[in-house]
Amino acid sequence: MTTLPASDIQLPLFIYAQREPLTEKSAWVALEEHHRDRARHFQLERLFAANDKRGETMTAEGAGVYLDYSKNLVTSETMALLMQLARQCGLQDRIDAMFRGDKINNTEGRSVLHTALRRPAGDSLMVDGEDIVAQVQDVLGRMEQFAHRVRSGEWLGHTGRPIRHVVNIGIGGSDLGPMMAHEALRFYSKRDITMHFLSDVDGAALQETVRALPAEQTLFIVCSKTFTTLETITNAHAARQWLVSQLGDERAVSRHFAGVTTNIEEATRFGIDPDNMFGFWDWVGGRYSMTSAIGLSTMIAIGPDNFRELLAGFHAMDEHFRTAPLERNLPAILGMLTVWYTNFFGAASQAVLPYSQYLKRLPAYLQQLTMESNGKHITVNGETAAYQTSPVYWGDNGINGQHSFYQMLHQGTQLVPCDFIGFCQPLEQVGDQHELLMANMFAQSEALAFGKKAAQVREEGTPEELVPHRVFDGNRPSNSMLVEKLTPHSLGALVALYEHSVFTQGVIWNIDSFDQWGVELGKQLAKRTARQLIDHSQPLHHDSSTNALIRRFRGGGEQ
């Protein structure tokens, strides 16, 4: 049991400020020299030739994830310097502070405790005088009862029919996690309940979702940490209106709406029955919330036992991150490699390429996780960062990517480090299709790393004028992550791996990875503009471009 002193006192904003600027730390300076004098000339082909064990030794394993980072532009010296930098930035202390519940979300004065959501029952963590693991387990228990009743058909809609459709209404972290997990774990899901995800405020999204739904058998779960997000609340009201008009009775709402939020007051005002309300806490960031009650749709889909397995997978990676030495710590390695390419090679993006149809939404999920967390240029000290921070994370199911954007990965002008993710065993064995799938993953990382020389292209009888077009320079870095099988447990471990890689990057860049002030301005302006689009008599005081666009909109496409 971990006991913490009550910490109601607002911590000063600079509590985690690093005194010595990042670029003046001795490890940073050493990395700059190392890059200038050696690393920018590294050739993967030569690095592999110099050490025939490289592919076996530059690996690490934790929580069931095997990471091969040997196809990166690094040597053991590079890795030692990167880990030295991590130590000089106090990574281990920051990890401990996060797990302990210190208020490391400086700008909001909050703890960051998504890891507490995955702690096993019976564990305990006292924060501000309260055992938050007990609170988590209490909500989990209520979710389990609710999920069980919906899955078993015991929960009946207003007209006495069981639920066959669940619509998750939410956006950002209240949508991407549940949607990604639903796709990823579809194999484990109860097929007679269909999941739908409604996030966009575009009326078409709502209409297309409810078009074929039987209201009598539909459950809406309104997910919003704040319960003030305009898109979600607007959709929730529209869904409620639709339901009541279909069933002709206001009282139907309590059988067809559940709510997940930290803002119980607002959810009550909306009309969610307190019995169908599941809470969480301000120490869970939206993009870190898929293991909170935000996962209610996931639990209904895969069942409480599988959901517990998902939590156990997250927890296994949490424990690995918390306890493994940095040199063998998967999230630390992944995070420091991102720092290496972003800050020393000037890489502006990072591709995530799962070789699994089930993981096709993982890149979209990771975009919020990574870029909403680390897409910042003001440090914890309140100064402008003198270095780059979050790269653009992007990607798709690897096989589909091969037939669209891989051309650029292989022969484009930009360095794009890639993360390949694959599984040893398929969930669906169809002939040799899994072998074919994984052969592609292995072949792509090999081709990126080692390319194809002009001599070989010529040997194949290529006409001389085509030779340069058919040469692959290679030397393009990648990580390969191999997991035995896609299960709730391994999905949890993979997602936690990225969560903590993001944390590692944020510590090095000395930024608060847990706020998101950058999304506020657009929201404020949209509110004002919405009034002007609805009421055409409202005066326009924007810039000339925005004014002209609004006038054109008001005129229905004509000036």
Q: Output b/e per residue, 455-479; b: 16+ Cβ within 10 A.
A: eebeeeebeeeeeeeebbebbbbbb
Pick from 34, 54, 196, 225 the residue near ligand F6P by CB under 6 A: 225
Among positions 355-384, residues that touch ligand F6P (CB under 6 A) are: 372
| Residue 290 C-beta: closest distance to ligand F6P, Å | 11
Measured from the CB atom, the residue of 204 and 521 that comes closer to ligand F6P is: 521
- Which residues in 248-387 belong to E strands, given as ranges? 257-261, 277-279, 349-354
| Residue 366 C-beta: closest distance to ligand F6P, Å | 14
In sequence order, which residues have a C-beta less than 8 Å from that of residue 285 and are 6 or more positions away?
A: 105, 112, 114, 173, 514
Catalytic entry in 183, 231, 309, 372: 372
Measured from the CB atom, the residue of 136 and 326 that comes closer to ligand F6P is: 136
259 binds ligand F6P (CB under 6 A): no
CB atoms within 10 A of CB 511: 25
287 binds ligand F6P (CB under 6 A): yes
Catalytic entry in 24, 53, 265, 403: 403
Instruction: Give the binding range for ligand F6P (CB under 6 A) out of 91-99, 170-178, 468-476, 505-513.
Output: 170-178
Q: Could you give the count of Cα atoms lying within 13 Å of 315 in the half-sphere of its Cβ?
A: 14
Q: Output b/e per residue, 78-111; b: 16+ Cβ within 10 A.
A: bbebbbbbbebbbbbebbebbbebbbbbbbbebb
519 binds ligand F6P (CB under 6 A): yes
Task: Tell me, residue by residue from 306 to 345, as one string, x for binding to ligand F6P by CB under 6 A and - for no binding.
Answer: ----------------------------------------
Helices 520-534 and 544-554 pack at an angle, to 10 degrees, of 40
Measured from the CB atom, the residue of 217 and 262 that comes closer to ligand F6P is: 262
172 binds ligand F6P (CB under 6 A): yes
CB–CB of 316/322 below 8 Å?
no
Pick from 105, 292, 516, 532 the residue near ligand F6P by CB under 6 A: 516
CB atoms within 10 A of CB 313: 25
Instruction: Give the binding range for ligand F6P (CB under 6 A) out of 38-46, 169-177, 205-213, 472-480.
Output: 169-177
Measured from the CB atom, the residue of 444 and 516 that comes closer to ligand F6P is: 516
DSSP-derived 3-state class of residue 472: strand
Task: For the chain, give the longest Cα–Cα distance.
Answer: 77
Instruction: Give the binding range for ligand F6P (CB under 6 A) out of 8-16, 102-110, 223-231, 464-472.
Output: 223-231
372 is known as an active-site residue: yes
| Residue 515 C-beta: closest distance to ligand F6P, Å | 9
Pick from 62, 173, 259, 422 the residue near ligand F6P by CB under 6 A: 173
403 is known as an active-site residue: yes
Cα–Cα distance measured from residue 32 to residue 343, given in angstroms and rounded to the nearest whole number? 9
Query: What number of residues does the chain have?
Result: 559
Instruction: Give the binding range for ligand F6P (CB under 6 A) out of 168-176, 407-415, 462-470, 531-539.
Output: 168-176
107 binds ligand F6P (CB under 6 A): no
Both tokens of 554, joined, read 């008001």
| Residue 326 C-beta: closest distance to ligand F6P, Å | 29
Both tokens of 17, joined, read 């400020």
Catalytic entry in 41, 523, 527, 536: 523
Cα–Cα distance measured from residue 94 to residue 108, given in angstroms and rounded to the nearest whole number? 17
171 binds ligand F6P (CB under 6 A): yes
In degrees and rounded to multiples of 5, residue 130 shows phi and psi of -120, 145
DSSP string for residues in 26-86: HHHHHHHHHHHHTGGG--HHHHHHH-TTHHHHSEEEETTEEEE-TTSS--HHHHHHHHHHH
Considering only CA atoms, give the Rg of the chain: 25
CB–CB of 294/278 below 8 Å?
no
CB–CB of 277/227 below 8 Å?
no
Both tokens of 162, joined, read 């069981």
Both tokens of 36, joined, read 């200038």
Pick from 105, 115, 218, 224 the residue near ligand F6P by CB under 6 A: 224
Pick from 62, 101, 178, 286 the residue near ligand F6P by CB under 6 A: 286
Measured from the CB atom, the residue of 199 and 402 that comes closer to ligand F6P is: 199
| Residue 361 C-beta: closest distance to ligand F6P, Å | 15
Report the candidate in 56, 59, 82, 84 with the shortest Cα–Cα distance to residue 69.
59
Cα–Cα distance measured from residue 513 to residue 502, given in angstroms and rounded to the nearest whole number? 8
Measured from the CB atom, the residue of 286 and 492 that comes closer to ligand F6P is: 286
Measured from the CB atom, the residue of 232 and 338 that comes closer to ligand F6P is: 232
Pick from 105, 106, 111, 232 the residue near ligand F6P by CB under 6 A: 232
What do you get for the CA distance between the two ends of the chain, in Å?
Answer: 68
In sequence order, which residues have a C-beta less than 8 Å from that of residue 135 and are 6 or more positions away?
A: 281
| Residue 498 C-beta: closest distance to ligand F6P, Å | 16
Measured from the CB atom, the residue of 232 and 513 that comes closer to ligand F6P is: 232
| Residues in binding contact with ligand F6P, number by CB under 6 A | 14
Measured from the CB atom, the residue of 178 and 304 that comes closer to ligand F6P is: 178
Pick from 88, 92, 226, 546 the residue near ligand F6P by CB under 6 A: 226
231 is known as an active-site residue: no
Measured from the CB atom, the residue of 177 and 492 that comes closer to ligand F6P is: 177
Measured from the CB atom, the residue of 216 and 372 that comes closer to ligand F6P is: 372
Instruction: Give the binding range for ligand F6P (CB under 6 A) out of 1-9, 220-228, 401-409, 486-494.
Output: 220-228
Pick from 174, 444, 479, 513 the residue near ligand F6P by CB under 6 A: 174
In degrees and rounded to multiples of 5, residue 122 shows phi and psi of 95, -20
- List interacting residues with ligand F6P (CB under 6 A): 171-174, 224-226, 229, 232, 286-287, 372, 516, 519
- As annotated, the active-site residues are 372, 403, 523
